[in-house]
Chains A and B, each alone.
Chain A
Amino acid sequence: MNIRVIISFLLMAFVLILVQILLLKNLALFGVALCFIYLLIILSIPVTISHIPLILISFGIGFTVDIFYDSLGIHTAAATLIGFIRPYWLKIISPTGGYVDSTDPDLKEMGIGWYFTYAMPLIFIFSLAFFLIDQWGTAGLFGVLNKSFFSSILTFVLAILVQLLFFKRKRGI
């Protein structure tokens, strides 16, 4: 991993967080589907990263978003959960022969089928955790499931779009 890859990754993280807090903060499609595009940062961290830094990074990203959402702790808790689960999930769905050292878990490298099995459950678990904490004691389980389901679909679709539009050029470096 050279310095240019790191810088372009940091730039992407910065832009995604900015988009999340400035544009997507109050967006809710049909009142149920929220978009958590900043999850794409956690999802695209290279496979080779060890577990502890990954958890710490997830915690930091969740915390940053929380400060701007005035929902201190909710994004943090859910994002940390994703950071913790990701390596186990990667191990379960690893392709035959394992991952190559330079593999990035993204659409361009792995293809749409694999990416769906990789990203969709993680995004869904995140949404479920997020809405469970947010709606604690106020809404029924159906409302939580409804919101998490549609939010994860919206987030996944947007994550695919972002990768199709912007990831190609960066990987070409």
Chain B
Amino acid sequence: MLRILQFLYSLRSFLLFILLELVAIWMIVANNSPQGAAFFNSSTAVTGSILQTQSDVVDFFSLAEANEKLIEQNAALMEALTNLNPPSDSVTFDLDSAFEATFKFKSARVISQTLRFSQNHLTLNKGSKDGVEVGMGVFNQDGVVGRIKTVSENYSVAISLLNTGMLVSSKIKTSDVFGSINWDGKLANEAKMLYIPRHVKAQSGDTVVTSGFSSIFPEGIPIGVIKAVGPGENQNHLDITVTLSSDFSSINYVYLVENTQLPEIDSLQQEAEVINEY
């Protein structure tokens, strides 16, 4: 018995090493499951405030560019608003409540972001205090950016579209064929479109937008443009490469979207035992 203990004691540093590596592997596995509650991440108070200060300084240098983009979008919004306001000499009537706004929008600023790994994340400066909830969609004026993963009081962390574990329900705009956008972990401006059957005629240059089936994003938010269509390894599906429309290296301000009817849709689907793959 004593010998065994002596033997183990002589191996103590190796055993400690194995133990700590197991802890690390456990953290990797626990942190990578989308539902797993990540406790230590950049949305905690201390790390959040450090990253916020850094972002404040860095953002100062890109103010001009950000302003320009905001002005562009303001213009587009004003144009849309004038189309919505009926001229004073016309008659209007309200449609019933089914057409009431199902989506609510919020804005946030990106204070930290990773780009170079296969599991990338963004940290935003809004948290549960501002009404951010887990599962909200994140996009900017160019296109889809990601989805909220964890929320603390003042900050939140989103899974980037540049994350091999992220699937976004999408469709080809011209033909309405739907599939899933998934990043393959290679280039920061390209992703793959999955589950498009062979018989579909897709060609490079077609626009890809969100489908609205996942109930996270409203229909029609741009994702990218098809770059190349190939036969693919799988017998049934095409291999489609999409050039993403958001430039992930220069994301500053983002919009958050919440589907107010998501709980109803979810509980209905659960009752009907529909498995939503997105």
Contact = CB atoms under 8 A, between A and B. Distances in A.
Contact of B116 (A28, A52, A70, A136): A28
B45 interface: no
Contacts of B114: 25-26, 69-71
Interface in B6-62: 12-14, 16-17, 20-21, 23-31, 38, 40-42, 44, 47, 50-51, 54
B193 to A, nearest CB: 17
Interface residues of A, dominant DSSP: helix
B259 interface: no
B116 A34 contact: yes
Contacts of A34: 116
Given A76-B24, A80-B20, A84-B13, A68 B185 contact: no
A70 B17 contact: no
A73 B121 contact: no
A126 interface: no
A51 B13 contact: yes
B169 interface: no
B28 A138 contact: no
A133 B28 contact: yes
A55 B20 CA distance: 9
A135 B118 contact: yes
Contact of A73 (B14, B27, B54): B27
Given A22-B54, A67-B47, A72 B40 contact: yes
A138 B184 contact: yes
Nearest to A81: B21
A52 B11 CA distance: 11
B117 A26 contact: no
B113 to A, nearest CB: 7
A52 B16 contact: yes
Contacts of B24: 59, 62, 73-74, 76-77, 80
Give the most central of A52, A71, A133, A136: most B CB within 10 Å.
A71
A51 B123 CA distance: 37
A135 B40 contact: no
Nearest to B113: A26
A134 interface: yes
Interface of B: 12-14, 16-17, 20-21, 23-31, 38, 40-42, 44, 47, 50-51, 54, 112-119, 121, 123, 157, 164, 184-186, 249
8 contacts: A66-B27, A66-B40, A67-B40, A70-B112, A70-B121, A70-B157, A133-B28, A138-B164
